[in-house]
Every structure is written in structure tokens, then in C-alpha cells.
Amino acid sequence: MTSVFSRILLLILLTSVTFYSVAANKPVASSKSKEFEKGVVAYQKDDFATALMIWFPLAESGDADAQFRLGQMYLEQKGPRKDPSEASAWIRKAAQQNHVEAQTLLGQMYLQGIGVRRSFKKSAGWLTKAARQKDPKAQYILGKLYYFGDGVPKSAGKAAYWYKSAAKLGHAEAENKLALMYLSGDGIKKKNALAIKMFKSAAAAGNKNAHINLGQIYLEGKAIKKDPVVAFDWYKKAANLGSAEAQNQVGEMLQNAVGTKKDLKQAFKWYQKAARQNNLSAYYNLGRAYVNGYGIKKDFDKGVSAFHKAAEQGHGKAQMDLGVAYYTGKGVAPDSTIAYAWFYVAAASNVKDARKTKNILYEKLVTKDKKKAVALATQYKRKYFKRP
């Protein structure tokens, strides 16, 4: 979840701000003033020094929009030095004046512990204030907090309520999440037809996750007649939108002729695209392609390199295949102790046959190498094992 909120926060910080007019607790100075707008123009021209010079006195006099923008500048290091604590102080001043965006951003800062001590409870408090002012971002994040029980009592029903509120305001990912709940009947009455309709609506708005979910529904025959061809089409749309998960899936479907003709060269290209986004399954599939010559000339060195990239980030099957590489000496110098260590980590990830292979190899080692292998395995598990 943390990573999900990091991306949302980064998006807010890097995009231009849409201002809200606030009826209650109106700031001392109006953000519609000519002086404030001069600051906006300067900021848009990357003249941050001028924007700061204009907004600072307005913020000091109580203008909530100026306080919010000043806080963002400290957070983004646009003009002044980067100072998350100073940023949170100004953003809090704006939030206390009922500034919707400030409330949402402050809630996210509490989630991440940026400029403030991390607190799910305080995050939920500020997000609730913004959500009640119909901010779709706040409503969506609040829905996630209720779904997982972070800072608020866990409640799938309340999560569905806030997802629905955000979806009505055009938040595509909230609509996707709500569709998942309708599909599973989690916290809301199960409605398969409505779920699929909502997935398609979110997909039409460009939501990659909705495309992927539709692909999975048609691939597995969930709540609809199984249709691998339609599934491939949805996955490919998500892949073309830049989803690494979908790019890897398209590669696998091309490799295995699922919903499309077999095309190993195209599969390899999709694996490459996904791997560039650090998709671990894609690294693993690239490794297998190089080792077996799927759509590319065999190259054990490149195959082992790809396995390493996946294995070192916790991919169990890549760890298993890396163990095989070290045992056989293909693409790397043979080393049974390193092979044992990788089998050991793969076994911890419950990879098929890893435990059996590890035990057989251990029995073949001499006493000196057994001690070395066990020590190395302990070290590797600490570094490379990722709990599923």
C-alpha cells in the first residue's frame, strides 16, 4: 500500500494545481486577487523566485491558497530549499482554513511520514475532511484506509461507500476498485454485470488496472463466458498504455499461443518492455528466453544476468533457475555452494521441487562445503527472500 500512496503523492506534487473556492472559513486574502495570479504566472514560467516573493506575504496574511502553494514549493524544492517540515507547516495552515487540496495532501503526508510523524489516524482525519468536501482523491484514499483498516476501523462497506463517491466524481481507479468489490461481493452485494460495466467504464477513462481486470475475467471465465481472444485484446490495450504487468502477460500469451497466434519474437519484445520497468516476472521470462532460445539466439550469460535481476528482488522461480545455472555451470562458473544457497531461498518461497533439490544437493557436498553452503544460504535468505 505504501508504494501506492507514494505514486499518488508524487503525481500530486508534479502536476499543476487546480484551485478550489472554499465557502466556509474563507481566507483573509482571496486567491483570485491579481497579486496571487501574478504568482501563478511566474510559477508557470518557472520563475520560482518571483512566485515565492509574491506568495510569501499573502501566505503570512492568511491566504490559504498562497499557503498551500508555498508549502508545495518547499516540498518540491521549487525556489526555496527543500524542507518537508516547513512545507507541512504551511500546508497545515491552509488545511485548517478548509482548503481541500491542502487537507488531501496533508493526509497523504501523514501516510508517508513526510514532514510530519507518520500517523494513519491523523491521515484519515484530514482525508475525511477533504472527502466530505467532495475531493475524489481524498475519497479514494479514504476508501483504501477503510478497506485495510489503517487509521480507521476496518470496514469493507465504508470502503465501498467512499469508492462509490469518488467514482461518481470521475475517479477511474476508485471505479475499478468498486468493480472488484461488486465482482467478489466483498462489503457490497455481488453484482457481476454491474462489475463488468464499471470495469469497462474505468477502462474507457484510461485506467490500466481496469483493462487488466477485464483481461483476467475473460481469460479465467470469471462472471462471464471464457474468451481468451477477448482477454488478449484487453491485456494488449493495457500493455499499450504502459502497464508492465500487462506487457509481461501479453508476452506469455504470445509465447503460449493463448488467445492469439504463437509468436516468440514478439513475446520477447514485450518481455523487454516490461523488464525495462523492473517487472520481475518479465526478467524471469527474459532469462528463460535467452537460456532456451525462445524468440532470440541462445545466450546463457544474458539469461543468468536476467535471472539475477529477478532473483535478487525475491522472484522464487528465478532463484530456482539461478540455482540450476550455478550447479550446471551454464552462463556462470559452477559453484555448488552458491547453487545450494539459491535453492534454499527458492524453497523458502515454496517453489516446486526447490526443497527436494536443495536436500539432494546438500547430501552431495563434502563437510567443509556443507558449512559454507549453510552460511551462504542464511545470508542469501536474509538478503533475497521476499515474503509472498
What pLDDT sits at residue 381?
96
Q: Is residue 90 part of a domain?
A: no
Q: Is residue 5 part of a domain?
A: no
pLDDT in tens, 322-348: 999 999 999 999 999 999 999 999 999
Cβ-in-10-Å burial (0-12, 13-18, 19+) of 121 comes to exposed
Q: Is residue 338 part of a domain?
A: yes
Q: Is residue 314 part of a domain?
A: yes
- Judged against a pLDDT cut of 80, whether residue 41 lies above it is answered with yes
How many structural domains is the chain composed of? 1
Q: Is residue 250 part of a domain?
A: no
In the chain, the amino acid numbered 27 is P
Q: Is residue 379 part of a domain?
A: yes
Helix axes 192-204, 172-184, angle to 10 degrees: 160
Distance CA 61, CA 54 (A): 12
What pLDDT sits at residue 78?
80
Q: Kindly state the percentage of the chain with pLDDT values over 70.
A: 91
- pLDDT range class, residue 15, cuts 50, 70, 90: very low
pLDDT in tens, 229-275: 999 999 999 999 999 999 999 999 999 999 999 999 999 999 999 99
The helix (H) or strand (E) run that includes residue 187 is none
- CB–CB of 90/82 below 8 Å? no
Q: Is residue 347 part of a domain?
A: yes
- Judged against a pLDDT cut of 70, whether residue 293 lies above it is answered with yes
- pLDDT range class, residue 79, cuts 50, 70, 90: confident
Q: Report how far Cα 1 is from the mean position of its chain's Cα atoms.
A: 8
When pLDDT is averaged across residues 294-301 and rounded to a whole number, the result is 96
Distance CA 244, CA 246 (A): 5
Q: Is residue 34 part of a domain?
A: no
Q: How far is CA 178 from CA 50, 135, 200, in A?
A: 44, 17, 12
- pLDDT range class, residue 32, cuts 50, 70, 90: low
Domain residues for 352?
298-388
pTM passes above 0.95 = no
- Of residues 17 and 327, more confidence is placed in 327
When pLDDT is averaged across residues 274-294 and rounded to a whole number, the result is 97
pLDDT in tens, 97-129: 999 999 999 999 999 999 999 999 999 999 999
